[in-house]
Amino acid sequence: MILREQNVCLNAGEDALDFNLPDQDGNYVKLSNYYNDHNIVVTLNPGKLNDSCRDYLLFYKEHLMEFSALDTLVLGINMDFVDVNKEWTESIDGLGFPLLSDQSPLGGVTLKYDCFVPGEGYGKRAVFVIDKKGILRHIEVFSGDQGACPDLNSLLDVLRSLT
């Protein structure tokens, strides 16, 4: 792979890579099933759900109404088992969006999105905005700083540009 913009192999303007992963309830979610109907925010989480992950995922939960107003769905991806994701989401009274398991094979989708760190066994925290045609419109990979979240205004500006 040739690393390009923002240390990912994908660039805005390219087709999003499709996936089909189980959510916290074991129901499979296929990305391309949402094309034509909704914009999609895909948020990648590094793996083990800790306090930093909670804050990161709760950021999206807190802003679901704003995303919905812009005809946008949120899909979370975490590199842990379905049962672990279910237990964790229940412990925080749910997220309001699917938390997909990228466990089998470990980090398969995270790797496709060039956010897997094989030597460390975890993924990078990142957000991808995909339009209704399945085109990547925004890519943001976060540093290892605890609590890294996207700038809400910038993210909403990207989504507004898609309407």
What is the per-residue pLDDT across 69-81, written as a single tens digit (0 to 9) for each? Answer: 999 999 999 888 9
Peptide bond into 46 cis (omega under 30): no
Average pLDDT for 87-106: 90
pLDDT tens digits, 131-155: 999 999 999 888 665 456 788 899 9
* 116 Cβ neighbours under 8 A, 6+ residues apart: 79, 107, 110, 122, 123, 124
For residue 112, what are its two tokens? 């496709």
pTM of the model: 0.89
pLDDT in tens, 19-53: 999 999 999 999 999 999 999 999 988 776 666 67
Q: Is the pLDDT of residue 6 over 50?
A: no
Q: How far apart are CA 161 and CA 156, in angstroms?
A: 9
Instruction: State the DSSP code for 103.
Output: T
Domain ranges of the chain: 39-161
pLDDT number for residue 9: 67
CATH label, 39-161, candidates 3.40.50.11740, 1.10.3720.10, 3.40.30.10, 3.40.50.20: 3.40.30.10
